């Protein structure tokens, strides 16, 4: 068990014991449990396979129900209980307050710390059973898929991988999803889903979710390098990502319920794939790596604009930059969030942006550069290594250098210039 996971579980255990939660012992079969969290008694179910005797550490899968559903219904629906008997893992089904999870844009329960509750559930199960803490996984359907997405974003120090169903990335903007490391994730979305649309709308689209996870995990290539099609469904995967991560999207044609709100939404009900088996085949290949605490530093400095004779300095740019294990995040003074992947080359870090982060940053620089030039301009990324971070001997970021193109699209003819960013420690 690595240091960050041990610290998380130790703190959670201390909280549980401080509340007088007695440690039981898991035995084969189904068990009902409660724990107090946030001043409320919260419930969860645990299924332990018949072959479990407590002598060998086993994986743990948390399987989350959808909106208006509950732990018992999810246990009966998803297929993970049956699969746990043959694959030999423990599966837990937590109950959301008000039959819901606070998963960002879905679905209510504002102010409820469901990520913290899930951490406490994992800690409690670790106390009772012999769990391999490097093999804890998240999955779930609909609102349960949404909380699985959020856990992939906010609890990458605890979960080795995630397999959300019937819900895209559940945070807005997408760049609010800031995993502390490269995170393996396989998202399942319904091609004919009438409730959570594949092409987006009220929520993010399946393609945008796929692209975001590809970008934040630094996957190579613009097209998936592994494909499998069965019937009217298909799975596509980027297998060459940072730190051994993989990113997949399974597009499922689920059973139709004409006229019902959940038409095409219950993805488990499809003729092409056993989704519990597909999810487990993906999840079970990943272990939580030994991840150091992200390196966080405040940087500030000038932004200079040059376009022909027009030259000027924009307002000082201030970033709080954090370098994780294969991922990075930044937030400026206005609260704009940026994220992406990065690789280290000696004393230099090369940063890449996710699609939405790129759009946010370029639009911000363009809006500030236009008054200097005197007319509207377009800012783009430099062709090679547009964002570089200089690291000290301990790997802490000390300076950030950004290089961007500047295009004047005036009617008199386009001119090209430069925007340069140089940030140092404040």
- Distance, CA of 405 to CA of 382 (rounded, Å): 6
Residue given tokens 């039959």 in the structure block = 99
Q: How far is CA 264 from the centre of its chain?
A: 25
- Distance, CA of 151 to CA of 37 (rounded, Å): 17
Domains of the chain, by residue range, sit at 3-283, 295-425
- Distance, CA of 304 to CA of 5 (rounded, Å): 43
Contact 340, 327 (CB under 8 A): yes
Strands 327-332 and 337-345: antiparallel
Residue given tokens 């391999």 in the structure block = 132
Q: How confident is the model over 66-95, as pLDDT tens digits?
A: 999 999 999 999 999 999 999 999 999 999
Tell which phi-psi region holds residue 226, choosing left (phi > 0), alpha (psi between -120 and 50) or beta: beta
Which DSSP category does 98 fall into? G
Q: Classify 3-283 by CATH class.
A: alpha beta
Given CA atoms 282, 291, 219, 153 in this order, what sign does their dihedral have? positive
The pLDDT score that the predictor gives to residue 373 is: 85
- Distance, CA of 198 to CA of 204 (rounded, Å): 9
The pLDDT score that the predictor gives to residue 315 is: 85
Tell me which residues of the chain have a pLDDT lower than 70.
1-24, 409-414, 426
Contact 208, 168 (CB under 8 A): yes
Cis peptide before 402 (omega within 30 of 0): no
Count CB atoms within 10 A of the CB of residue 167: 36
């Amino acid at each position: 068990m690595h240091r960050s996971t041990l610290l998380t579980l130790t703190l959670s255990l201390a909280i549980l014991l401080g509340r007088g939660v007695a440690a039981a012992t898991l035995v084969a079969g189904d068990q009902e449990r409660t724990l107090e969290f946030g001043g409320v008694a919260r419930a969860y179910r645990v299924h332990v396979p018949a072959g479990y005797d407590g002598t060998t550490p086993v994986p743990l899968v948390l399987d989350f129900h959808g909106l208006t559903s509950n732990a018992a219904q999810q246990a009966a629906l998803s297929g993970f209980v049956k699969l746990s008997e043959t694959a030999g893992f423990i599966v837990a089904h937590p109950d959301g307050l008000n039959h819901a999870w606070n998963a960002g844009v879905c679905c209510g329960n504002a102010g409820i710390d469901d990520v913290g509750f899930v951490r406490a559930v994992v800690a409690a199960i670790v106390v009772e059973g012999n769990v391999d803490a490097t093999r804890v996984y998240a999955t779930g359907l609909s609102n349960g898929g949404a909380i699985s997405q959020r856990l992939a974003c906010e609890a990458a120090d605890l979960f080795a991988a995630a397999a959300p169903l019937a819900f895209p990335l559940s945070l807005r903007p997408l760049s609010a999803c800031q995993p502390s490391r490269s995170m393996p994730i396989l998202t399942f979305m319904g091609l004919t889903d009438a409730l959570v649309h594949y092409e987006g709308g009220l929520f993010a689209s399946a393609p945008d979710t796929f692209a975001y996870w590809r970008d934040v995990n630094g996957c190579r290539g613009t097209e998936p390098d592994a494909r499998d099609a069965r019937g009217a469904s298909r799975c596509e995967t980027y297998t060459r990502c940072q730190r051994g991560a993989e990113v997949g999207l399974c597009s499922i044609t689920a059973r139709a319920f004409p006229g019902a709100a959940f038409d095409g939404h219950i993805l488990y009900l499809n003729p092409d794939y056993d989704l519990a088996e597909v999810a487990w085949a993906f999840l079970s290949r990943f272990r939580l790596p030994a991840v150091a605490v992200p390196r966080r530093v405040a940087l500030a400095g000038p932004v200079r604009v040059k376009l022909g004779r027009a030259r000027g300095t924009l307002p000082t740019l201030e970033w709080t930059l954090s370098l994780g294990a294969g991922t990075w995040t930044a937030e400026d003074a206005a609260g704009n969030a940026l994220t992406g992947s990065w690789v280290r080359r000696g004393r230099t870090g090369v940063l890449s942006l996710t699609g939405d982060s790129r759009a946010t940053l370029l639009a911000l620089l363009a809006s500030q550069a236009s008054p200097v030039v005197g007319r509207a301009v377009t800012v783009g990324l430099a062709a090679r290594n547009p964002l570089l971070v200089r690291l000290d001997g301990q790997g802490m970021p000390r300076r950030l250098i950004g290089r961007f193109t500047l295009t004047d699209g005036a009617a008199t003819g386009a001119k090209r210039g430069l925007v340069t960013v140089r940030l140092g420690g404040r």
